[in-house]
Amino acid sequence: MIEPLGPTVAVKTARSAALESVSRDTFLSAMRQAASPVCVVTTTSNGQRMALTVSSFLSVSADPPLISVCINRDSRMCSAMTDSGIFGVHILAADQAHIADCFAGRPKTGQAYDFSCVEWINQSDGREPMMSGVSMSAECSIVSATDAGTHRLFIAAVNSLTTNEKRPLLYWNRLYGFPAHASEV
């Protein structure tokens, strides 16, 4: 079990200084310079499947295997994940930008949040379906949730995962891309 820690005096001081010195626009502009994997988080709550494109996914620990995702606290997804306790996280492959757009609510064609935009691999009852063709899919159980500003940080144990050698889709400065080896540039 992960025990939440209260902020230290240094963290409280840093938080106060940050609130006074960095504007929201400046912060968002700076964060656009950080390339991140494009992921779709899925969950099922009260019989309803939900999915949302996120870029706030991190590996937390290998022993035990833990990951984290951040979801806006005002979203239906945040409530559904909190209620369910189980979610899937899927790192999209470089050729899956259309899936990212669909689950971000802005598809170029078709309907937003349409689960038929990708093939799903069903698992046994009570388990989250896995997305086909992605760089990585993991089924996770929430072990901790902490509210931080407008978002909730979920830390979750990885119950199962699948990977392949597909290049991941990345998001940088409002653009999709994929990694290239130095020898390919």
Residues in the chain: 185
- In 3-state terms, what secondary structure has residue 86? strand
Q: Which of residues 37 and 28 earns the better pLDDT score? A: 37
Rounded to the nearest integer, the mean pLDDT of the chain is 87
Q: Which of residues 65 and 123 earns the better pLDDT score? A: 65
pLDDT score of 16: 59
- As given in the structure block, the two tokens for residue 53 are 């494109």
Domain regions of the chain by residue span: 35-171
pLDDT in tens, 101-158: 999 999 998 899 999 999 998 887 778 889 999 999 999 999 999 999 999 999 999 9
- In 3-state terms, what secondary structure has residue 29? helix
Strand partners for 88: 42, 139
Note the pTM of the prediction, 2 decimals. 0.83
pLDDT score of 30: 77
Superfamily of domain 35-171: Electron Transport, Fmn-binding Protein; Chain A (2.30.110.10)
Q: What percent of the chain clears pLDDT 70, i.e. is strictly above it?
A: 88
A 10 A CB-CB count for 126 gives 7
